[in-house]
């Protein structure tokens, strides 16, 4: 059993880190004050867009997609390593240079679309000429996505959409949305939920309330569909099987979320360890105290366990398997692990850890979201239990 990272993937990871250091770090420094206040200005959005364009030109942004749509055809393991490496830097603008797990980035779901739709929507996404949003969650349908109420009714060669989505990241800025709607209430997820591409500006499609989160972000919004007419040709995949198409790529997405958690946790441990070596109390560094040593040691152990769970999940996906059990385990363990690690980092930094201008307070707020999005911890435990025959 070979646990070594292939040399070619190690080179790709090293080149990404060089790109981040060269292009992203100066932008991060430029907007340091705004980032500390969780204040995203139009100038910052323009800077993020410029970084996204540079990344797309090299190929990092859509590296997880096949070459025929402009990607690199990089393996799941390869892209997992890139996501982890980006998160290890602790730089917020790295979210602009990598695709998944960012919901505005090119998604493998669009590989299920017709060649015409891929040319119109997926290729521009890979080139960073457009962004998108993923409109599934509703006020009464979160983890239980099968309970969505947004309806799509056939009217000739169009469908008429009615309903409301919420917590939609990038919804206010996306060029188009992938919207999931019920086309057959009797079948629901078993052939009754369809995915549609809906362009920004389509009559009946509006952005509703901006929803500010505890992480300080304001990119989550409501999307409202009021007699919104969408051509039947804008269906992604087969009519009635949009939910199934989305689930098909769930496992690879969980590998990327796991890698994001892994990288953030590694960053937290690194800066907490450095601080523990420098910060002195009662005449010696706090890193010499057993209480601090144990917090860092526990974090190191959990990170090591998470790393190999994540890499194995990515490897299983690359073997063509559908490892639902393993993907749920990674989503559950890594998101809860990074919360514990971030909490310990705040404790080690003490008062500086609690300050908004400190290095870990924002991270502590951000990672809390990861236990909720794309299936809560409770849902993951339920899925794992079912794979055990319970």
**What are the backbone dihedrals phi and psi of residue 325, each rounded to the nearest 5 degrees, phi first?**
-60, -50
Which ranges constitute the DSSP H helices of 166-289?
242-248, 250-278
**Is the Cα dihedral 140, 146, 152, 158 positive or negative?**
positive
Closest CA to 368 of 331, 346, 347, 338: 338
pLDDT of amino acid 85: 98
pLDDT score recorded for residue 17: 98
Instruction: pLDDT tens for the chain, 390 residues: list them.
Output: 788 999 999 999 999 999 999 999 999 999 999 988 888 899 999 999 999 999 999 999 999 999 999 999 999 999 999 999 999 999 999 999 999 998 899 999 999 999 999 999 999 999 999 999 999 999 887 777 778 999 999 999 999 999 999 999 999 999 999 999 999 999 988 899 999 999 999 999 999 998 888 876 657 899 999 999 999 999 999 999 988 888 878 889 999 999 999 999 999 999 999 999 999 999 999 999 999 999 999 999 999 999 999 999 999 999 999 999 999 999 999 999 999 999 999 999 999 999 988 999 999 999 999 999 988 999 999 999 999 999
Active site residues: 374
Q: What is the pLDDT of residue 79?
A: 97
Would you give the distance in Å from CA 57 to the centre of its chain? 21
Where do runs of H (alpha helix) occur along the chain?
A: 7-19, 25-30, 32-36, 42-58, 76-88, 115-117, 123-126, 242-248, 250-278, 290-318, 324-349, 351-354, 361-368, 377-387
In the chain, what are the domains? 7-107 (1.10.540.10), 132-240 (2.40.110.10), 249-387 (1.20.140.10)
Q: What is the pTM of this model?
A: 0.95
Taking the alpha carbons of 81, 85, 87, 88 in that order, is the dihedral positive or negative? Answer: positive
pLDDT of 217:
60
Asked whether 197 and 178 are in contact (CB, 8 A), the reply is yes
């Amino acid at each position: 059993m070979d646990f070594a990272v292939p040399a070619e993937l190690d080179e790709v990871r090293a080149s990404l880190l060089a790109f981040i250091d060269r292009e992203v770090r100066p932008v991060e420094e430029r907007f340091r004050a705004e980032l500390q206040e969780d204040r995203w200005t139009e100038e910052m959005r323009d800077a993020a867009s410029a970084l996204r364009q540079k990344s797309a030109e090299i190929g990092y942004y859509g590296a997880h997609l096949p070459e025929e749509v402009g990607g690199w055809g990089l393996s799941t393991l390869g892209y997992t390593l890139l996501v982890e490496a980006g998160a290890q830097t602790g730089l917020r603008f790295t979210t602009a240079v990598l695709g998944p797990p960012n919901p505005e980035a090119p998604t493998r779901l669009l590989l299920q679309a017709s060649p015409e739709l891929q040319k119109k929507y997926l290729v521009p996404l890979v080139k960073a000429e457009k962004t998108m949003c993923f409109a599934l969650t509703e006020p009464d349908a979160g983890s239980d996505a099968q309970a969505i109420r947004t309806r799509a009714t056939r009217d000739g060669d169009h469908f008429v959409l009615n309903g409301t989505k919420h917590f939609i990241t990038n919804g206010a800025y996306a060029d188009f949305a992938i919207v999931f709607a019920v086309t057959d209430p009797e079948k629901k997820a078993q052939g009754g939920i369809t995915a549609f591409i809906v362009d920004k500006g389509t009559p009946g499609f509006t952005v509703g309330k901006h929803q500010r989160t505890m992480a300080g972000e304001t990119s989550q919004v409501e999307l409202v569909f009021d007699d919104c007419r969408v051509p039947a040709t804008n269906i992604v995949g087969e009519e009635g099987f949009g939910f199934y198409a989305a689930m098909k790529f769930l496992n690879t997405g969980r590998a990327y979320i796991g890698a994001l958690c892994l990288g953030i946790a590694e960053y937290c441990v690194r800066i907490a360890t450095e601080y523990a070596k420098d910060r002195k109390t009662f005449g010696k560094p706090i890193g010499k105290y057993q209480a601090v040593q144990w917090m860092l040691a526990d974090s190191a152990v959990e990170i090591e366990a998470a790393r190999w769970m994540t890499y194995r999940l990515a490897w299983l996906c690359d073997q063509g398997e559908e490892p639902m059990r393993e993907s749920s385990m990674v989503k559950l363990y890594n998101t809860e692990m990074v919360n514990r690690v971030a909490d310990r980092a705040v404790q080690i930094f003490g008062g500086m850890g609690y300050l908004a201008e400190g290095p870990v307070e924002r991270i502590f707020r951000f990672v809390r979201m990861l236990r909720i999005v794309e299936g809560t911890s409770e849902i993951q435990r339920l899925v794992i239990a079912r794979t055990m025959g319970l």
